[in-house]
Each structure stands twice: as structure tokens, then as C-alpha cells.
A = this chain, B = another copy of it.
Amino acid sequence: MAEADRVKKAGPRSTGRPTIRDVSQLAGVSRMTVSRAISDPELVLPATREKVAKAIAALGYVPDRTAGSLSSRKTGFIALMLPTLTNANFAAVAHGLTEALRDANFHLLIAYTEYDMVEEERQLRNLLARRPEAIVMTGATHSPAASKLLLAADVPIIEIADLPSRPIGHVIGFSNHEVGRTAARYLIDKGHTRIGAIGGTVEGEVRDHRGEERMRGFEDELRLAGLSADAVLRYGEAPLSYDHGAAAIARLLKKSPDCQAVFAVSDLSAVGAMMQCQRMGVSIPDQLSLIGFGDFEIGRIVDPPLTTIHVDFNELGRRTGATLLALLGEDGDARPGRVDVGLSVVERESVSKA
């Protein structure tokens, strides 16, 4: 019988909370049996399992995963790096991921970069100290040091919401460049020729790389169509919101009063711009067409409803979760995958008909 376990008392550094040893002593079995009864019940006789369950309930025992993690070298953590949580789409990703990982008993460790690469690196280091079993990064632009840390981490890495040409690991995303191009094409197809855009990357310092990518795609498509990109305005800093859009559109229209159509890199800016137009007596879509990005709920609510480019962030979160589960499950398919969840134009009424 488990003699060694029966006599051992809690050491001086113990927390006082019941441990697996207390359970084993009360149940009259070894610690290993308790461990198995919890994490792999089929290996234990039903009668034994019952005894253990009783002891657990009697003591109010809650296993310590910190200890378990150290021993098994599996922490059950997934690191998720987001620009911010106060953005419905990123929140949706986090939500979808949590959902997908819930039953596998993984926990998400979320960190926010606030669109700052230095902060990203700092946060990454903190995250790494928790020994996550996989890392999910939003975007694909990292500092050299951060890239090095990621490579050295030796765990699956998934870059999401982007489609980098030189990815570090797996990719589940969409092309932000294509978003911009699609927006431009859409406005061009509607017959506009004086076309502008508002986004948040001030000259010289890029914070929101994905937003900047959308701006570039937009510009590229304009040029391809032989149109001027003069009315593409970069103003303010991420995170972009209503106020940004309002200020940006005011500037833009002052600079380029003949502008017929505008792409906003975020629906939030787009809506802010819309409000500002109302205040300035600029009618949408009659005097100015507006297309956004992100398909935020608010775009359905405003009047006129906002035409926008939709990406299924929920799907993105779910796909990421499923990939993670596959990666961390059985064998761990090592081949880095690349998934493009695509995008689509949601036609509503903020763009004038061709």
C-alpha cells in the first residue's frame, strides 16, 4: 500500500490548500492514482475512481495546474497578441478562439500591443515566460527582436488577419492590400474618378501596419486605373475611431473639395466621417460616396447604411482555434498552412449607384 504517501506531511512552504497528497491519503491510494483518476479515468477502476471522487469532494480539492504544467511541460496556454480589445472584430477573434479552446481546457493569454511594436516585444517576452503551447499573432509585422523571440520559442505560431509574404509560421488571414484594391475597384466601377481615402498612418511612423496595407492597396489600384491618389489622406494614429473619421474627412474635403468618393480604412472612421458630413451638409451618397472596412455592427445602424468590406473575423477565430487544436493534438502537422478567409463587399447605401 501507499506507505510513503500516508505518512508524509505538508512541508513548511505549503499553501495550506489541499494537494493531491491530501486526496491520496484520504482516499487511501497513491498520488499517481489520484492523478490518473482525474486526467485519465479509464485507467482507474470504477471503485477506486469513486473513492478518489469522494475524497476530492470532501476536501474541496482543486488541482494545481501550475504544478501540473511544470511537470508535464504542457501549460495549456495559448498566447494571443492583439492590437487592442476595444475593437469588435478583435474581440470577436478572442471570443471565437476562447470558444474553440474551451473544451480542450486551454486558456487564452491575451496581450495588447496598442499598435506599438516596442510594446509588442515587451508583451511577447512576458507571454513567453508563461510557456504557451502556441502563439497567435495579429498581423505579420514584428520587430526583429520579436521575430527572433518567436522563432526561438519553438512552438506553433499562427499569424492572423494578414497574409504575409514571408510568414513565420502558419497563416490564417486575408490580404489587407486586396481590401484596399477591392474598395478602389468598387468605387471606380460605380463611376467615380475623384477618389480619396482616410487612414491613420502618419508619414514616417507606421503603427497600424494592416491599415497602412489597405491604404497602399487602394492607392495601387487607383494608379492602375490611371487615377490620381492625391486625395488619399493619412491623418491621426491608430486606434481609429469616430472622431478620427470626422476630423479626417473635414481635412480631406477642404484639401480636395471635388472628391466624389472616399474609402475609410475602418468602419469606425467611416461612420465618424458620415456624421461629420451630415454636420457639414454634405449628403451621402449624393454628394459623397463612402465605403468602409470591417463590417462593424454600427454600419448597419447608421443612415444611410454603410457600404463596407466584410471579413469574417468569427470564422477567422474559429479556424484559428481548429488549427490550434489540430496542431496541439495528435501528431502536430508541422507543415505551415496558409488560409485565406477572403473578403466581400457588403453593398448598402452609402455609395451612389453607377
The contact string, 1 if C-beta is below 8 Å from chain B, for chain A 14-40, is 011100000000000000000000000
Query: Is A8 interfacial (CB-CB < 8 Å)?
Result: no
Q: B95 contacts A129, CB within 8 Å?
A: no
Question: Would A85 and B95 be within 8 Å (CB), given that A109-B107, A131-B66 are in contact?
Answer: yes
The contact string, 1 if C-beta is below 8 Å from chain B, for chain A 93-110, is 011001000000101111
Taken together as a complex, chains A and B put the C-alpha atoms of A130 and B148 apart, in Å, by: 29
Query: Is A92 interfacial (CB-CB < 8 Å)?
Result: yes
Taken together as a complex, chains A and B put the C-alpha atoms of A341 and B204 apart, in Å, by: 42
From 126 to 148 in chain A, residues with beta carbon under 8 angstroms from any chain B beta carbon are 126, 128-131, 148
Taken together as a complex, chains A and B put the C-alpha atoms of A301 and B298 apart, in Å, by: 9
- Closest CB-CB distance, A104 to chain B, in whole Å? 11
Contact among B65, B85, B298 for A85, CB-based, below 8 A = B85
Q: A62 contacts B105, CB within 8 Å?
A: no
Q: B73 contacts A15, CB within 8 Å?
A: yes
- Return chain B residues, CB-CB under 8 Å to A115: none
Question: Would A128 and B62 be within 8 Å (CB), given that A17-B154, A95-B84 are in contact?
Answer: yes
Contact among B69, B85, B298 for A94, CB-based, below 8 A = B85
* Closest chain B residue to A128, Cβ basis: B62
Contact among B62, B64, B91, B128 for A91, CB-based, below 8 A = B91
Q: A66 contacts B70, CB within 8 Å?
A: yes
Taken together as a complex, chains A and B put the C-alpha atoms of A144 and B8 apart, in Å, by: 34
- Return chain B residues, CB-CB under 8 Å to A302: 301-302
Query: Is A303 interfacial (CB-CB < 8 Å)?
Result: yes
From 49 to 103 in chain A, residues with beta carbon under 8 angstroms from any chain B beta carbon are 60, 62-67, 69-70, 73, 75, 84-86, 88, 91-92, 94-95, 98
Given A63-B129, A95-B112, A242-B300, 16 additional A-B pairs, CB 8 A: A60-B148, A62-B125, A62-B129, A65-B130, A66-B66, A66-B69, A66-B131, A67-B70, A70-B70, A88-B88, A107-B109, A107-B126, A242-B301, A275-B301, A301-B301, A302-B302
A-B contact pairs, 9 of them (CB 8 A): A60-B149, A62-B125, A64-B129, A65-B130, A66-B69, A70-B70, A85-B95, A86-B91, A105-B126
